[in-house]
Amino acid sequence: MKLKHYINLFLLFAITPAFAQEKGAQINFETTTIDYGTIANGSNGERVFSFTNSGSEALIIKNVQSSCGCTIPKKPEGSIAPGDTNEIIVKYDTKRTGPFRKTITVTTNVEQNKIVALKIKGTVLPKE
């Protein structure tokens, strides 16, 4: 009888964390890398990183910074409520010919993993 009791307690403590909701703000991106592929010189360089706040508190995007002046990121203003979806818009200067790999650093109020690295890559063809 005691063994059955201990097994039930073990199962209760082992399974409970799987159903616990994340405390605080949590950011989950649909993807953290966007591949432009091979694109024409001067074409539209704007892409979108969509994300959701899967936590229990408001998410704040404190800063979004690119590794290069050729990439301009735009962060959402204000806070993102739990369960809400928003986006970070990134615009790459497609007048620069050749392959590229850039990193966009996102700083948030998430307790763990405050900083998220987003990446863009691709190749811009020479002018025709």
**pLDDT value for 122:** 98
Along the 128 residues of the chain, how does pLDDT read in single tens digits? 565 655 555 555 555 444 445 589 999 999 999 999 999 999 999 999 999 999 999 999 999 999 999 999 999 999 999 999 999 999 999 999 999 999 999 999 999 889 999 999 999 999 98
**pLDDT value for 72:** 97
Q: What is the DSSP string of 76-121?
A: PPSEE-TT-EEEEEEEE-TTS-EEEEEEEEEEES-SS--EEEEEEE
**pLDDT value for 23:** 85
**pLDDT value for 4:** 61
**pLDDT value for 18:** 47
Q: Residue 3 belongs to what H/E stretch?
A: helix 2-19
Entry pTM: 0.81
**pLDDT value for 8:** 57
Amino acid symbol at 72: I
- Which residue is listed with tokens 């989950």? 28
CATH entry, 22-124, from 2.60.40.10, 2.40.30.10, 3.40.1710.10, 3.30.1060.10:
2.60.40.10
Instruction: Please answer whether residues 60 and 25 qualify as being in contact, where contact means their C-beta atoms are separated by less than 8 angstroms.
Output: yes
Closest CA relative to residue 57, chosen from 78, 75, 81, 77: 81
In the chain, domain spans: 22-124
